[in-house]
Structures are given as structure tokens and as C-alpha cells.
Structure 1
Amino acid sequence: MAFDGLPDRKNNSVAQKDFEGEDIVGVYESIQPEWPDEVRQALADSLNKNESREVRHHFLLDVGCGSGNLTKVLANDFDRVLGIDISESMLKVAEKKVSNPKVKFQLVYDDKLPVESSSTVAVTCGISFHYLNTPVFLAECDRILVEGGVLACFVFGPNILTSLHGTPIANYSAESSRWQHIYREFQINCGMDEVVREIHLTRYEAIFNALTNPTKHWRHIAKRDVKYTIKKMLDYMSSIAGYRNKTFPDPTKDPLNIFREGLIAILREAGLEGSEDTEFVVTFEFSAMIIKKTNKFGIA
């Protein structure tokens, strides 16, 4: 697989700081939408198309499992599950949340995945793939996956804004979208490089397009409506690593304040108030890029 132009995350200490501490865990738990049951079906469909007997190992590795939200949804479909993450704070929450004897969690700092070669039927990432050292991770997936095994990278993003009564406010995917504009402006103001911005803005489609493996396929999974306030949306944006690991002494140049003004303008134009507790609906779209390991084409 060629990943020309995509970042190689070679220093996990930076990412570790971004996801450590009770405060950031609390923010994530309050703002992240729940993974829909359709992610189970997407993974099951990919595995059920296999004719390889090796898939009967039924071992799932969830990489970057965080607080265990995706792990919990997928766990019942496998005989054994291991969730790994670099954040001890996140894993403490995961262990409390997922009370399933088949599921274990492990703190991992190394790029090497802590499982034996040819032992895993599925590797999953829930909106964590872009934090990984891409070439090393793919080589490790190639090592641990059985023939016919699957790498499934799930992602979601806030795509459509509507009023509580269903009136359209903004569409992230629309041409000349103001919603996408303030999102992009926020990332630029945070100093994100162009490649990382593209990954975020296209919700992994940039990564998918860079993959050369012929077994890859993109799957739109589900949409979910979640009630948000301006404050909750600001919490969502402030959870982005590119913002959290920087300081902005001048409030007028703080990317979050600039984003707030843009969001308030969009909502007021639609006839809504601009207070912190102004409510609206965010439609999250869930997708996946799925790659199968076959006799002819490895993952690395």
C-alpha cells in the first residue's frame, strides 16, 4: 500500500498527552455519539464473505479503543476481544463500561501490536487510524491477520445541522458550505498541516483514496441525529488534538472563539438564538473503510 503524503505518527508521547486525564475523558464521554449497531453488521458482512476456515479463530483486536465504546458494540460477535490504547485514563473507563468476560484491555505504548502472528480475524479502529504510525500499523496488521481477515476503520463526523423542528441550517457536504468553511478555518488556525486537515475534512476518504490495495471498499453505515447546544459543539471542537495541545494567549486569535462566532452567525441566519444553550440537531454520518487480507494481496 502506498501512503504518499499521509503522516507517519512516530511519537506516541504527543498523542498520549492528548488523551490522558479525567477531564478529557469526561469531555469525550459527553460529546461523542454512540456507535450505531450497524457497525456490527458492516464488520460481520465483510467476515461472512470469507470462505477461509481461519476466520473461526474469532479474535478481535480493537486498536485505539479509548473508553471502550466501539469495543462494547462489537464484543458479542467474537470469542475473544482485546482493546488497546495509549491512555490509562481511557482504559480505566473502558474496563468499567465493558463488563464482558471475553473482553480484555491493555495499555500499549509500542507500535508493535501485542498479539501473535496469524492469530486475528479482525482489527478495528474507531476514529483512531489517523493517530497511528501508518506504515508500521499496516505491516503489523499484515502480520497478525489470518488469511481472509479484515481491517475495518470506522469514522464519523457531524455532517448536517437542522433546527429542532427539522428546518435545514447547514450541510457540511454542500458546495461552498459555510459549515465546512468554519470547520476548515478552525483547523488552519490550529496550525494543522494540509494532510491532517484533509483527513479530518474528508472523514478518512483521503486515506481511503491513498490506499492501493484492491480489496479495499468504502461503506456508508448509518446516520444518527443528536441534540446539541452551542456549548456542546464547542466542547466537541476543543477535543480535537490540534487545539488541545496549543495555547492561544490572544482571545481574538483563539480558533475556538473564531469558530464560535462563525457558528453563531450560521444559527442566527437560520432564525435561532446565539446563546451557549441554543439547541439544534446534528446529524452524524458513520462510515468505514474495510480492507481484506487475501492470498494474493496482503495488507502491508
Structure 2
Amino acid sequence: MIVDSPKIKNLIMSYLEEKKGKPFELAVDAGCGTGRSTRTLAPYFQKVVGIDVSESQLSVARKCTSHENISYQISPAEELPLEDASVDLINAGLAAHWFNPEKFGQEAARVLKHGGCLALYCFSLVFEIEYKDKSEELTAAFNEALLILLEFHKKVVCEVKAMYQELFSAIPFKDKQRISGICEVFPLTVPEIMSFLQAICSYKEFLEQDKDKATAFLQDLEKRFLDILGESASDALGFHVYYFCLLASKS
């Protein structure tokens, strides 16, 4: 399934190396959820702390984590349980659209060391599916379904489409930048693409509002994909995901 973008990870670590330099002692993964991006940070830091408001998500994260240098705490991103000027990197992958921009910006300024960095990134809601001569048809089917789902979380969708403009403005550091158009291609089967859609907040909202309709929606989309692919229905497809990333450094 989809993992965090290796290109973004390399971008963040290069940025931190440039702005602060080693040693990399403490990273905080804010809004860590099940710890997907927390685990990718572990090899680079002496200690990584995953922060989330959901105890159920953190419970899954703990079960999935074998790194001894990772710990998890329940807390909002706007009230980090960390000392002043103690953090090398604050990371937030696919999560910062849930934060209060002003309060989060102030908290980042409080806990980051001088030279410490902030990295916020997300999908840009631009997706393409590549498979032989079926690419255009598959991409159209996916994006038609996505447009319907995005109606269920308009506020979040607006913030993501604006590439976190409000968050960017609220970051209280002069040294900041936004990078867009970062593309990763993941080999996914049709069931894996359906699982990706099931995991996004808009589908979960749809499911809560009308379970039967949401389930039928996904089944219809899967059937459409299988009809397009025919005998190739079990093959992996090239799932193109475009990301944007905000980077900032505390001087």
C-alpha cells in the first residue's frame, strides 16, 4: 500500500542537514496516527516521539513499532508535551490540515531548537493511474469518484487545495518555503486502490452518514475498474501521487 514519499523524506533530511546539521537528537511526528511516518524517521534520530489525539490510533502504532527509540504520547499538536528548544524536527505527514494554524505555529516556535526545522506535507489531490492503453480511462474513473468523496470534507479539501496557505502564513519563521509537484509512483492493485480510498477522511465521513450507500459506492467503483481492465484485473497499476511540502527553519 501507499507509504510516505521517499522523495519527501530525503528532501526533509537534506533540509535539516543544511539548516541545523548533526546531531539529530529528537524528532516529533505530530498527528502521527498509526505511526507510518514515525517509523520512517527512526533511523535518523536518537529519539522519535509520535503525537496524536486518538488513543485507538496510537494503540495500533505501538503494536506496529519495533524501534526502541520510538515512543508515543496522546496530545494535540498545539500542546506538545516537550520542553522549550528541545526538538530538531517537527514532522506532520497528511495531518496538518487538522491543526489550529496560529496555535500550532506558536508551539513549533516554542519547542524547536535554533536551526530546528518544521516539515508539513500532504497529497495535493492530483492522482493519475497508469496502465498500458487504459491510463486515461482509469484516471477518469478514479477522479470522478474522488470528486464525490471530497464533498464530505469541504473545509479540509479547501485547505489542501490551497496547499496549507493558512498554515504557511502562520509559521512564525522568516525562513520558509513551499514545494509542490513532488510525484511518487506506487504499484497498487485494484483492491489496494480501494483500500486507499477507504482510508481517507472523506470516505469515513460518507460511511458514517450512510454505510450502505458508501459501501455500494466503493463496490461500483471497483467493478468499473475491473471492467476496464478485463483479463488484466489482477495486475498492479502505476498509482501516481502528487505531494506538496512546507519547510521552515527557526533561526
TM-score, normalising length: structure 1: 0.67
- 99, 104, 128: which one aligns with 1:160: 128
CA shift in 2, pair 1:272/1:56, >3 Å: closer
Who is 2:156 aligned against? Answer: 196
Shift of 1:46: 1.1
Shift of 1:123: 0.2
Q: Distance in 1 between matches of 2:141 and 2:134?
A: 16
Map 1:1-300 → 2, pairs under 5 A: 32-50=1-19, 56=23, 58-109=25-76, 111-156=78-123, 159-163=127-131, 165=132, 167-169=134-136, 179-188=142-151, 190=152, 192-193=153-154, 195-200=155-160, 202=161, 205-208=162-165, 211-212=168-169, 215-229=176-190, 231-245=191-205, 246-248=208-210, 251=212, 254-255=213-214, 257-258=216-217, 261=220, 264-265=223-224, 268=227, 271-273=228-230, 280-294=237-251
Shift of 1:220: 4.6
Indicate conservation of the 8 Å contact 2:178/2:244, yes or no.
no
Shift of 1:171: 8.1
Indicate conservation of the 8 Å contact 2:89/2:119, yes or no.
yes
CA shift in 2, pair 1:91/1:159, >3 Å: same
Q: Distance in 1 between matches of 2:9 and 2:15?
A: 10
Shift of 1:141: 0.7
1:253-282 residue CA offsets vs partner (Å, 9 max, x unmatched): x355446546755774xx4249x9786442
Shift of 1:99: 2.2
Indicate conservation of the 8 Å contact 1:68/1:83, yes or no.
yes
Structure 1 portions without partners, runs of 5+: 1-31, 295-300
Indicate conservation of the 8 Å contact 2:28/2:50, yes or no.
yes
Q: Distance in 1 between matches of 2:186 and 2:85?
A: 39
Q: Look up the equivalent residue of 1:216 and give its one-letter code.
A: Q
Q: Distance in 2 between matches of 1:170 and 1:223?
A: 20
Shift of 1:80: 1.8
TM-score, normalising length: structure 2: 0.79
Structure 2 portions without partners, runs of 5+: none
Q: Distance in 2 between matches of 1:196 and 1:248?
A: 20
Q: Distance in 2 between matches of 1:279 and 1:182?
A: 20
1:4-27 residue CA offsets vs partner (Å, 9 max, x unmatched): xxxxxxxxxxxxxxxxxxxxxxxx
Indicate conservation of the 8 Å contact 1:186/1:258, yes or no.
no
Partner secondary structure for residue 197 of structure 2 = helix
CA shift in 2, pair 1:262/1:97, >3 Å: closer
Q: Distance in 1 between matches of 2:236 and 2:178?
A: 36
1:132-162 residue CA offsets vs partner (Å, 9 max, x unmatched): 2222112111111122221101223671112
Q: Look up the equivalent residue of 1:66 and give its one-letter code.
A: G
Shift of 1:82: 0.9
